[in-house]
Amino acid sequence: MEMNNKKRRQSMILYVIIALAVMLAVQQTFATFQRKSIKNVSYSEFLTMVEQNKIKEVELNTGTGIIRFTDGDTKDKDTTIYETTLFPDDDGLVARLQQHEVKFSAQIPDTRNDLWIYLLLSYGLPIGIMVFFGWRLNRRMKKAMDGDDPSMDFSSGFGGFGMGNLGKSNAKIVGEKETGVTFKDVAGQDEAKESLQEIASFLEDPKKYSDIGARCPRGALLVGPPGTGKTLLAKAVAGEANVPFFQISGSEFVEMFVGRGAAKVRDLFKQANEKAPCIVFIDEIDTVGKRRDAGLTTNDEREQNLNKLLTEMDGFDNNKGIVVLGATNMPDSLDIALTRPGRFDRRIPVELPDLAGREAILNIHAHDVKMEPNVDLSIVARATPGASGADLANMINEAALRAVRMGHRRVTQEDLVESVDVVIAGEKKKSTVLSEHEKQVVAYHETGHAIVAASQKGSAPVSKITIVPRTSGALGFTMQVDEDEHFLTTAQEMRDKIAVLCGGRAAEEIIFGEATNGASNDIQKATQIARAMVTQYGMTERFGMVALGQQRNRYLGGASELTCSEGTAEDIDKEVQRIVEEGHREALDTLRAHRFKLHEISRYLQRKETITGEEFMRIFTRDDGFAPTLPTMS
């Protein structure tokens, strides 16, 4: 309560400062306008104008000695008003004015009231207005923070201070009884659907659960990478149960003014209580539910919102059928008081789909697209390991767009294959024209990757090689596609991947005797794999099975952080360097052994720019009568 009073006083002071600034600006504007409309002249100029018959009217203020006169009719808007100060001992002024037929008068001020009127108008009235509106603001903010009037509208003019819907949650009701999405529209997340099916069943028929003494989970936390369908799953639960669905983002609770976010939380659960049974979905809940700490740099507004959310999740009647679903990409950053059972009873991973899941997702999105009968979506599914549901939906759409550009009446297999390249590497960059030498370097680089990969046992087969520049910045790429899905990777397979990544640089060194910057991405990936082998997977004899690092924000691709001493960190760097260099030497040895194939395939690739895996393997495995081991070229 003391904190709320302090915040109200701070907000009151803020608005008083704003009102003072407005008052001063208005006074300055009027003063400037007044100064611009009156021209000051000297007394000698005044007398000269009298002699030249340029003055029509003169008014003297006997209290201040100010003479105000005009050169025309005062009703005329173009008439200029002049001011000057009366010169002492000028007894002939009245005679001069009469001689030149000037109309003159004198003003005797009431000194008894002028000062009080001036003070009242200049200071009393603005201060009174500020006090009045400050009192109204204080009352309204107190009601909003105490939750007595969460639905009041502050958006109508200055009477409401233009603060928007103070205390109103702005939660969007996607559907009163129908969201338009059911579990049939969700693919590739069978385990998540199974966990959420019970919640939908409880909301649809709570009696069969209450008869046995079971209660509905208060909340479920959906965690996973972006684009995996967390929002879609939440809508599907409401669609299956035919209940209202409230959707709001966690960022909408974060407000500039203290107390507004907490009032929005209260209003959200008040609306949910009125519509129960229902589902409340808070997207990006980590925005409002981040872990509290004892540090000095705390955010009182955010913590107040979190405390209100914790209280509301404890306070609503679970038997009414209110279920809170939260979605986040950063589950490790959430406050432990929020994720405990009784608030979020279930934590449901929504991971990237596997091979079967990707094919099912492609089939769902392909329903609304006209396709050729012979289109095989399993080829796209195998070519896109690590793709999310959003990526796959984008690939189908890109294929449809390409079909229109190419004049096709239906989407072809070629359109789908090209759409995979577009999503992974970007569009073909037509503005980038490589010189013949650069084209040759890129061809040898990509062929080096392919030959090292084809020479290994168990490595994923090469499906495509291209030297067409892409908008992502890649001048070419070599694509490998596994026949089956793999969930475990051995140390040797990781070393083989590092060798394949080093194949491009090795080819440049063997053929041209120098290195280019084209291998920068390869080096980065190879270093990441080697570092993970050392710090996370315990795959080196030097350090053994010891975790020397941990990954942060793994759903957002966060890098790993070392958890060791500085001396050990230096040893880790040396071990990573050794592993990458071993892969580099292996790539060099492999390409030297297949140098003639390196030349043959590179020249073929330069002519065609893009070749399939079948074309590559046909040339690579063809017996030309050459010995497998060739002399080394410097």
- From residue 266, how far is each of 150, 162, 253, 310, 418 by CA, in Å? 8, 22, 11, 11, 50
Bridge partners (DSSP) of residue 466 are: 477, 610
446 given a catalytic annotation: yes
Cβ 43 vs Cβ 85: under 8 Å: yes
Place of tokens 């396709």: 371
Instruction: Give Cβ neighbours of residue 361 (< 8 Å, ≥ 6 apart).
Output: 187, 188, 353, 389, 392, 393
SS3 for 184-227 is HHCCCCHHHHHHHHHHHHHHHCCHHHHCCCCCCCCEEEEECCCC
Cα–Cα distance, 171 to 180 (Å, whole number): 18
Strands 560-562 and 549-551 come out as antiparallel
Cα–Cα distance, 539 to 490 (Å, whole number): 9
H or E stretch including 323? strand 322-328
Cα first-last separation, the chain:
80
- Tell me how crowded residue 615 is: count the other CB atoms within 10 A of its CB: 17
Cβ 373 vs Cβ 355: under 8 Å: no
Cβ 464 vs Cβ 611: under 8 Å: yes
CA-closest candidate to residue 93, choices 46, 56, 61: 46
Cβ 244 vs Cβ 278: under 8 Å: yes
Instruction: Give Cβ neighbours of residue 237 (< 8 Å, ≥ 6 apart).
Output: 196, 199, 200, 203, 279, 323, 325
Instruction: Give Cβ neighbours of residue 262 (< 8 Å, ≥ 6 apart).
Output: 145, 304, 305, 307, 308
Alpha helices, DSSP H only, in 489-626? 491-512, 520-535, 566-593, 595-608, 613-621
Cα–Cα distance, 127 to 122 (Å, whole number): 9
Q: Per the residue annotation, which of 446, 508, 509, 575 is the catalytic one?
A: 446
Residues with catalytic annotation?
Answer: 446
